[in-house]
Structure 1
Amino acid sequence: MKDALFGGINAAALTAMTADYTPDLDRYAAHCNWLLANGCNGLGILGTTGEANSFGFEERKQILEGIIARGVPATKLMPGTGCASLADTVELTKHAKAQGCRGVLVLPPFYYKAPSDDGLFAYFSEVVNRVGGGIAIYLYHFPQQSAVPFSLDLIGRLLKAFPGQIKGVKDSSGDYANMKAMIDNFAKDGFEVYSGSDEFVQKILAEGGAGCITAAGNVNARFGAIVYKHRTGPEADAAQAVLNATRKAATASPLIPGLREIIARSTGDSAWRNIRPPHLPLSAEAGQKAWDNMQAAGALPLPGLSMKAAAE
């Protein structure tokens, strides 16, 4: 897909925290800038991997403002702004627009289960109308987590009602047939489809999708960049094989604590293990397993990061 706002490889970035669980803006901004220098076209921040729903409303604003103030380009950021509350979703989206972000990733209202398409249409209509123009809305399709899927019929209605404002989707369902159906039905209208699963990067690009927004991008984005550049051929195929292996390695452990462990060991910075309950850091044994799996996948060492903590 040409001219996609976030076309390419986007990491769903981990959020750095201090020992008392407050956002660590210096450490986080440094990680974001490292990702952008090592294969990422953009960053999905404050999503599932970024533990958005473990942070309060004002904290989420503080995080976005803080990393922009520390040199992370707002135009490269797709913050998660979807909340159970309509008012909070609107306010966080307006805030992202005011900071200069080009798009936001919006979960459906996830507390009440099995809402109708009419109810979801009404919700997103209110979001778009209250926010106004000037920022693109990306739908976050992750039914395993939210329990509220986006149907093709609903997406079609939203695109018809709000052309150019409902801009795309991140599909974290793992169901490639669903991603392909979104591409087939809506890509012709400029609707950007991003995979949340690394194993689909090469395939989705070939079939008209825009790229990916993935948790494993915290460690494998440089291989995604090769796939995005070359698309086909031996170099792209080899890089896609590493994406597949790193995705498998990342999901063999609890995803967020496992990725934090990889970054902690790669940087020699144990603060990356800080994680808000109910998540917990990995045990020493589980941490070693996560490290060994990622090393076997071919993603390590991470360029530009110290390896001194490998034996911790």
Structure 2
Amino acid sequence: MIANLDKQIEQLKRCETISEAEVKQLCLQAREILVEEGNVQYVDSPVTICGDIHGQFWDLMELFSVGGMCPETNYLFMGDFVDRGFFSVETFLLLLAFKVRYPDRITLIRGNHESRQITQVYGFYDECHRKYGSSTVWLQIFKLLTKYAQLIGNKKYLMMVLCVIFFGLIRMRYKAGVYRRRGAGFLFGGDAVRSFARMNDIELLARAHQLAMEGYKHMFDNLIVTVWSAPNYCYRCGNVASILELDENLRQEYKVFVHAPSDARSIPAKRAPPEYFL
């Protein structure tokens, strides 16, 4: 079984799809692992935190060239693996195969794009149909991811990694902040963030799902950071990307990288991704 999984990983690393039967088996194996993980999951440091990928497979490979390949590097991905880019299927299946092969070396959180409604509009549903001829693979995948947040800690520090849905919970619990409704979640002020962090003894909150042109962006006296890992988002935004490396003492190091060279990525000569939407 391990040999077959290793073969699938090598195939996916070449941006080649695996068969529908193999996808089904991979999802069954992943479900056995993910069902044991809680919605709030502790992750050991050192760990490398990654933001949105959005189906930009060759840029994911660029990320691995900067941060190290799994399992040598312990990774935490904050969701939005799919939609927008042309290789959402290969992107997500590779990360899922890593999760099955090395369950203690990679953690996957669902983002707002890991939902049936959004993927029917922004590309992943159509891509599954195009590459597999039906919605079977699409349906199998979205029975898997349910986690909202991860806690990363040691004896001195605790940090939290959040998805859009969990920010909604903060908004409901801590209404002191200035917030307004937006398309995929909520925006709110520093007082709500500080209150939440203080009451939960958290040193840093990391999030994704909002384009940062410089790859990452600190807010509220460095209490919260947005990490964005999709360079040249939608193949046209011109931004750089980043990953956040935390050592054993949770010291932060941000590594910034650009998109993969054009000769290393085969983008289909077809329509551009759907219009920009976070």
Normalising by the smaller structure, the TM-score range is 0.3 to 0.5
**TM-score, normalised with respect to structure 1:** 0.33
**TM-score, normalised with respect to structure 2:** 0.36
- Richer in strand (by share): 2
